[in-house]
Structure 1
């Protein structure tokens, strides 16, 4: 913590508080390097309030305890609205390192582009990363939001060579290449820190540091230990609750010793004294090089394989240090690069020269006397409020008011050549790209209005954008377009009378804002197929949508593992619990089963309770009952599984012992799973199945919440992968909201709005593995069909309304009804009471042979 009245030379913004040795030591290197230049440093804690990815960090985690041990001055966590106050506490702001500018990471927000920093203060980026090499992840919205901030930096440096091109081509900013912050300190500095460790490993051992440990990676490490003749393996868990996981994976390896105290000093000590290192970590590879320890690196594609390739190339190793997760013992034995004889001369030269040049770069960037150089061109932005308009004849009536300018087309003015324009304070520059934001109220019977820029010297004008105008009453609106400029001389914004028809045609213009943006912020031109034929657009649209889906899945994967990812924690609990249930249900019961599932469940239950989540949670209670049944079954058989019981914390054991029998475990197949309120129990299944219709016209009879709830309870009997129950139902009864949603959805035109509207979604947090990419839609579809049958069972009419829509419609709906990003749309369902004789489409079903494909023996 720091004295609230104290001021500093430099404030550092970044992920120094993360539960990851790489992040912790990255910012330690940067902090100490800045201090060595004679500057006082304030470490800025993560601001809250942006979205669900930003969380309150506990004060007793490994990074915060380290911060206090090494004497950081740091701020408390606060809402991002309080960030501007830091301008009074520091003269310069440094952002970096880490993947702080990677749009696929949910925690990336505008504070990491230093949007809150005053113009009088310097903005510097040190070794900041955009993630992997690809640039298609940068949407026009992301670029438009952040490019202007990057162009205001005094100096920008990146740690990957390809990021220089990314900064220039996508964000219009100049960047220099520097070394990762961990290389800013000499080996001796880290060795002194390692001397403060609470451990003192001895002998010849293999150090293993896996951020994402798997059995396959363990096998690779074991094969390397076998080849090198190492008798001891010291495993360094990732400090993000990795100890229990490592114990599970290495349980059958007698040579393995798990480091059971999370400290950066212990990490460094284990590395420094190792005989060989195996890692899947970028910074794990970096520290092996710093200590000049022979090592093998699994390039971690999950965390960016390009980063590893870039680092290894810079160090002069190329692919020589690489081993693969799929390598067998024979592969390792035959690999000549798995050896203790490694030449570090090139790496040593790179680190030493890079440290010198990067430190000098940092010295210049933080010197208040030096000039900035990040912007490739001067930033250009201007706003015209209630702008002055001019027309050549009498085709327009122009009324200038205090807050807006009213433009009206004169009688007969709805013709080509009837123009009205306003002068821009600066010319638009050839080869540049711009964003135009128009705050206005158009009045026209036309469906679209073209927006133009004009060269008054030549009279030439060009269309820079086209906006759709909905029918009906004129409404205030804001339209934003982006466009390139391919010739000099455009100094006017222009409208044409041809686009304004009908009564009182024209527009009220409140403001026109034009801002220069990087050319990379422009939407990509539609792809053309080979042969020059115009693209139909299907392939391009499908690819864009697939990339959007991929980005959402990646964000959700990260969200599910974050402290606020409660659904993910539940999914992991029930994944392991269901595996144990399956073992309990086997006729050929195998006593002592659960070598993976039981430790996995113990870890998740312990973590749930340690995070102070509710103890009455259904998923926790069900998991506890499963273990209650598991232990009772083994007690009855006289099989000792006390080693499994010891994996559960005392709090978890207490809940297991008090678990209610029947909440989990096994039951006879003919027994009902849950006993719920009856809903016409005498109604035959086939009557419900064959009697379900898509009903679109409903009576005025109110729909009761209890009716919807009974139908949802029926739907919850639908199967889901490993019983993870990822389906969600959002219920709406506000007529205005229902109409606005269905107007966007577009599938209910011509009908009165339904009394109730449901939206079935699937929570991506419930899906744990990449091959489950389609499972949300499978589980969601099973649930939706069960819900339709449930609604029929309770006497309600319903109609499924598809969510096959592009990102624009989906984004509008999400904003309107506040659906979390990690839930994917399955289907809307209109619901209401109905007259039995109301007409519905026949929708004839084809014969069985159309759907049933028989595969004969042989």
Structure 2
């Protein structure tokens, strides 16, 4: 069977890239032919780029404050994503050309026997180029339509009434629906009147050994620069305090695998802005004795690699993902929202990896069964 996979646009998000890699790998292992549908936002026009540059100039020189966040433009994003885009080119294949228009999507709507949308926050309207594409509005009627571990990212409803209406109609044409969070099961039923099943993020379907094979393929055997791996997307004083407390208590050296934060001083001569190799990030989990992460996939890979960890929740990014994942593995106590919730008992507490790994194996069986049954449903 030829299967198209549709997920978020891939740039430099380690977890997002690896979930796409994992789902494609799993489908190939099951004997299917796959192709990743490389949907992206349209490249900004010349006039749009000029306007954005002018806004950035004003921001940098007239209204900038110390905590101002700067975002790269299209060309700068390409530059800082040099390593991750190379990984995508080498490991996520076959992959379509970059598709930026709805007409492009419609042109491939009949190319597949089945299309799977997922995983990651593919059903969060502000994260995708066109939310209707992610409910497969472009697919022909006879294509098997499946969502696998699709995520809203939050348990708050972010759709407009019109988006809700259209997506409800589109989703009711799916053959099978699975979501990544338990809260999403209820949302899909309430808002779309569709039954959804709860499955694992695709990254958890591959064994740790598969990721270590990737590391050996790309990384020289150089140890990481510490033993307390911190994967923190939102750097602030509270998170620094948490890292300091854990480091002091366990006598571990913090290290990270992140580029220099994008700022007003960016220029193309400074390689520190380029995201490190994805496999260096993977290796960090294997090398670490302890992990601190405010990222969903940071928690996922801590579990895969059986590393004790603390998850820092961020309400604005959405807590539903963290709560659902940690509840599934009986690890709810690992989630904190502030330094005040961190104590020595939590830092010292041991995770029962026998229990966690047993749950993981059972959930894998459920997720694999969902995929296999969904892809053969029309044959019954």
- What TM-score, normalized to structure 2? 0.82
- 1:322 and 2:322 matched: no
- 1:161 and 2:182 matched: yes
Deviation at 1:150, TM superposition (A): 0.5
Deviation at 1:259, TM superposition (A): 11
- Alignment check: 8 A CA contact 2:224 2:284 kept: no
Q: Could you list the runs of 5+ residues in structure 1 that have no partner in the other structure?
A: 1-7, 249-257, 372-858
Aligned to 1:292: 306
Aligned to 1:37: 30
Aligned to 1:92: 114
Deviations 1:478-509 (A, max 9, x none): xxxxxxxxxxxxxxxxxxxxxxxxxxxxxxxx
The equivalences for 1:149-228 within 5 A come to: 149-198=170-219, 200-201=222-223, 205-228=227-250
How far, CA to CA, are the matches of 1:107 and 1:16 in structure 2? Answer: 8
Deviations 1:129-164 (A, max 9, x none): 1221233x3332111121111011111100111211
Q: Tell me, what secondary structure is at the counterpart of 2:3?
A: strand
Aligned to 1:25: 18
- 1:352 and 2:351 matched: no
Deviations 1:171-226 (A, max 9, x none): 12121111111111111111222223435225861001011222321221121101
The equivalences for 1:544-693 within 5 A come to: none
- Alignment check: 8 A CA contact 1:195 1:269 kept: no
Query: Which stretch shows the higher mean deviation, 80-89 or 267-276?
Result: 80-89
Q: Which of 65, 83, 92 is the aligned partner of 2:86? A: 65
- Alignment check: 8 A CA contact 1:234 1:259 kept: no
Q: In 2 relative to 1, CA 13–55 (structure 1 residues): closer, same or farther, beyond 3 Å?
A: farther
The equivalences for 1:340-379 within 5 A come to: 341-367=350-376, 369-370=378-379
Deviations 1:320-374 (A, max 9, x none): 21233343xxx64x43011263212232122111111101110111226446xxx
Aligned to 1:471: none
Aligned to 1:109: 131
Q: In 2 relative to 1, CA 106–66 (structure 1 residues): closer, same or farther, beyond 3 Å?
A: closer
Q: Tell me, what secondary structure is at the counterpart of 1:303?
A: coil
Q: Tell me, what secondary structure is at the counterpart of 1:125?
A: strand
Q: Could you say what the CA RMSD is over the residues aligned between the two structures, in angstroms? A: 2.8
Query: Which stretch shows the higher mean deviation, 120-129 or 216-225?
Result: 216-225
How far, CA to CA, are the matches of 1:354 and 1:259 in structure 2? Answer: 38
- 1:124 and 2:146 matched: yes
Deviations 1:711-734 (A, max 9, x none): xxxxxxxxxxxxxxxxxxxxxxxx
Deviations 1:400-424 (A, max 9, x none): xxxxxxxxxxxxxxxxxxxxxxxxx
Aligned to 1:690: none
Q: In 2 relative to 1, CA 50–167 (structure 1 residues): closer, same or farther, beyond 3 Å?
A: farther
Higher alpha-carbon Rg = 1
Q: In 2 relative to 1, CA 151–259 (structure 1 residues): closer, same or farther, beyond 3 Å?
A: same
Deviation at 1:16, TM superposition (A): 5.4
How far, CA to CA, are the matches of 1:337 and 1:306 in structure 2? Answer: 21
How far, CA to CA, are the matches of 2:142 and 2:203 in structure 1? Answer: 30
Q: In 2 relative to 1, CA 273–48 (structure 1 residues): closer, same or farther, beyond 3 Å?
A: closer
Query: Which stretch shows the higher mean deviation, 355-364 or 97-106?
Result: 97-106
Aligned to 2:70: none
Q: Could you list the runs of 5+ residues in structure 2 that have no partner in the other structure?
A: 49-72, 266-271
Q: In 2 relative to 1, CA 71–109 (structure 1 residues): closer, same or farther, beyond 3 Å?
A: closer
Q: In 2 relative to 1, CA 289–163 (structure 1 residues): closer, same or farther, beyond 3 Å?
A: same
Q: In 2 relative to 1, CA 158–338 (structure 1 residues): closer, same or farther, beyond 3 Å?
A: same
- Alignment check: 8 A CA contact 1:282 1:307 kept: yes
The equivalences for 1:200-599 within 5 A come to: 200-201=222-223, 205-230=227-252, 232-237=253-258, 242-244=259-261, 262-318=276-332, 320-327=333-340, 332=342, 334-339=343-348, 341-367=350-376, 369-370=378-379
Deviation at 1:26, TM superposition (A): 1.2
How far, CA to CA, are the matches of 1:193 and 1:180 in structure 2? Answer: 19
Structure with the larger helix share = 2
How far, CA to CA, are the matches of 2:358 and 2:246 in structure 1? Answer: 28
Q: Tell me, what secondary structure is at the counterpart of 1:336?
A: helix
How far, CA to CA, are the matches of 1:91 and 1:82 in structure 2? Answer: 18
Q: Tell me, what secondary structure is at the counterpart of 2:245?
A: helix
- Alignment check: 8 A CA contact 1:167 1:173 kept: yes
How far, CA to CA, are the matches of 2:273 and 2:248 in structure 1? Answer: 21
Deviations 1:88-121 (A, max 9, x none): 4321111001111123546452111110000011
- Alignment check: 8 A CA contact 2:132 2:167 kept: yes
**More contact order relative to length (CA 8 Å, sep ≥ 6):** 2
Deviation at 1:261, TM superposition (A): 5.6
Q: Tell me, what secondary structure is at the counterpart of 1:99?
A: coil
- Alignment check: 8 A CA contact 2:208 2:304 kept: yes
Deviation at 1:23, TM superposition (A): 0.4
Q: Tell me, what secondary structure is at the counterpart of 1:195?
A: helix
- Alignment check: 8 A CA contact 2:289 2:307 kept: yes
The equivalences for 1:710-725 within 5 A come to: none
Q: In 2 relative to 1, CA 47–267 (structure 1 residues): closer, same or farther, beyond 3 Å?
A: closer
Q: In 2 relative to 1, CA 17–221 (structure 1 residues): closer, same or farther, beyond 3 Å?
A: same
Q: Tell me, what secondary structure is at the counterpart of 2:109?
A: helix
Q: In 2 relative to 1, CA 133–212 (structure 1 residues): closer, same or farther, beyond 3 Å?
A: same
- Alignment check: 8 A CA contact 1:47 1:80 kept: no
Aligned to 2:61: none
- Alignment check: 8 A CA contact 1:102 1:108 kept: no
Deviation at 1:281, TM superposition (A): 0.5
How far, CA to CA, are the matches of 1:291 and 1:120 in structure 2? Answer: 40
Aligned to 1:717: none
Deviations 1:701-757 (A, max 9, x none): xxxxxxxxxxxxxxxxxxxxxxxxxxxxxxxxxxxxxxxxxxxxxxxxxxxxxxxxx
Number of residue-to-residue matches in the alignment: 342
- Alignment check: 8 A CA contact 1:197 1:269 kept: no
- Alignment check: 8 A CA contact 2:12 2:275 kept: no
